[in-house]
């Protein structure tokens, strides 16, 4: 089975020649992988670019700009467009790109923004327009965004450029940057929901031409806006697009801290205390945090407190013993004391625990401050009491095979009516079933 095809050869992003005839062979009855068989006759030849316009463009661009500076902008554009047609027809991508950039510069320097928008769309739709030339034109136009006289003009130019770049893979990075800029403008006006929706249009994780750091920065910005509009489910979905392995690379600590701080806000909504504790562990394990005593102790306080608030399981129990041995934690003896209380097979009195530690927890940790989402410190205090009761039931189960409900309530410092429901809720966590 044979099929005739044409094959273009590209070098450094530009087509230098193409094969006019080739044949694809499909072995094994058409089910195998094809291989190329070139035609043996002399009809197959390399078709190079017809003319190299570099010298002509070098000569003409200063002339066009001189005409524009003399006020003859329309004449300059007309001559520039005529030469652009010749370079485009000859597939001279470099020269075409320079001429399109020249058109942008002429109109931008003359502050003729409506004509600039019109020509951007017009040039991008020219027959057989070269991709590299369009890329250069878009990049040149983006350089004038900061030179626009007012915000409406700037928004108009952004809108035009987003129209030009829509659906074109070769300018996907430029479109992403334009979209982020538009979202920033919307956010500055207080339109948080609109800014978040605009930024969600771009799926940078599929971009092959964008650097990893810029991708992560873009996704983090998407996450931040989703958090601002209280869309925690979308934020969680976006977070999965970032691999934690990325943060092992040099120069990514600022992004790592930003990522895990946002993840703390997400997990607070579902009381995923163990995950939050591990987020603070990741923040603690950065050079930036370890080099700042204040930030280091803050991270240690929060990772300990959220670990204590976590429901009991094997991982939580193991982390308690491991983190209790941290050398840096020696600077926080009260938090070491809390960990020891939860890892020692002794009953804890809730009133005594509160009297000893509540003031510290409220003053020094986020879980027991007003920063704890919308639930407030009382919610965290209630969960902490549940963890103390849970610990006490585990201790009792180690010493008793049978116990009367009245005695159980007395040991747990609970009302007899409350004890059965409490035991039922905590039974699965005690025996890890």
Q: Which of 301, 305, 307, 353 is nearest to 329 (CA)?
A: 301
pLDDT at 4: 45
Q: CB neighbours of 419 closer than 8 A, spacing ≥ 6?
A: 405, 408, 409, 412
Q: Which of 335, 255, 265, 351 is nearest to 296 (CA)?
A: 335
Sign of the Cα torsion 428, 431, 432, 433 reads negative
Rounded to the nearest integer, the mean pLDDT of the chain is 85
pLDDT at 404: 79
Tens digits of residue pLDDT in 332-383? 999 999 999 999 999 999 989 999 998 999 888 888 876 555 577 888 898 9
Tens digits of residue pLDDT in 94-141? 999 999 999 999 999 999 999 999 999 999 999 989 999 999 999 999
pLDDT at 107: 95
Tens digits of residue pLDDT in 16-60? 444 444 444 444 444 444 444 444 333 333 334 557 788 999 999
Check pLDDT > 90 for residue 417: no
Check pLDDT > 80 for residue 221: yes
Percent of the chain with pLDDT over 90: 65
Tell me which of 424 and 71 has the higher pLDDT.
Answer: 71
pTM (global) more than 0.85: no
pLDDT at 49: 54
pLDDT at 51: 72
Tens digits of residue pLDDT in 194-215? 999 999 999 999 898 899 999 9
Length, in residues, of the chain? 433
Q: How confident is the model at residue 171 (pLDDT cuts 50, 70, 90)?
A: very high
């Amino acid at each position: 089975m044979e099929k005739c095809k044409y094959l273009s050869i590209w070098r450094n992003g530009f087509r230098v020649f193409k094969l006019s005839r080739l044949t694809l062979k499909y072995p094994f009855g058409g089910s195998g992988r094809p291989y190329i068989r070139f035609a043996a006759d002399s009809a197959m030849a390399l078709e190079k670019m017809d003319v190299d316009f570099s010298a002509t463009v070098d000569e003409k661009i200063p002339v066009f700009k001189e005409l524009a500076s003399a006020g003859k902008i329309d004449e300059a554009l007309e001559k520039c467009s005529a030469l652009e047609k010749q370079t485009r027809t000859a597939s001279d991508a470099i020269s075409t790109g320079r001429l399109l950039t020249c058109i942008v510069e002429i109109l931008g320097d003359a502050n003729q923004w409506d004509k600039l928008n019109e020509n951007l769309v017009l040039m991008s739709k020219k027959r057989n327009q070269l991709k590299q030339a369009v890329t250069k034109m878009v990049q040149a136009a983006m350089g004038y965004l900061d030179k626009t006289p007012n915000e409406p003009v700037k928004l108009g130019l952004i809108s035009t450029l987003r129209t030009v770049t829509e659906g074109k893979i070769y300018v996907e990075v430029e479109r992403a940057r334009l979209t982020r800029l538009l979202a920033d403008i919307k956010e500055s006006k207080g339109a948080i929901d609109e800014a978040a929706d605009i930024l969600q249009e771009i799926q940078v994780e599929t971009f092959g031409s964008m650097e990893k750091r810029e991708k992560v920065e873009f996704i983090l910005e998407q996450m931040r806006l989703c958090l601002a509009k209280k869309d925690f489910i979308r934020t969680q979905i976006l977070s999965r697009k970032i691999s934690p392995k990325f943060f092992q690379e040099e120069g990514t600590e600022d992004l790592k801290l930003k990522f895990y701080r946002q993840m703390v806000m997400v997990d607070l909504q579902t009381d995923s205390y163990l995950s939050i504790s591990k987020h603070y562990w990741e923040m603690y394990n950065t050079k930036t945090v370890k080099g700042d005593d204040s930030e280091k102790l803050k991270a240690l306080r929060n990772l300990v407190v959220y670990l204590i608030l976590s429901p009991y399981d094997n991982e939580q129990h193991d982390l308690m013993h491991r983190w209790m041995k941290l050398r840096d934690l020696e600077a926080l003896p009260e938090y070491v004391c809390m960990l020891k209380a939860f890892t020692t097979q002794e009953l804890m009195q809730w009133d005594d625990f509160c009297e000893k530690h509540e003031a510290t927890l409220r003053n020094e940790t986020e879980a027991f401050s007003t920063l704890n989402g919308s639930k407030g410190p009382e919610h965290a205090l209630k969960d902490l009491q549940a963890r103390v009761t849970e610990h006490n039931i585990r201790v009792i189960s180690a010493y008793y095979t049978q116990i009367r409900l009245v005695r159980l309530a007395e040991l747990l410092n609970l009302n007899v009516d409350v004890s059965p429901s409490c035991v039922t809720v905590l039974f699965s966590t005690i025996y890890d079933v």
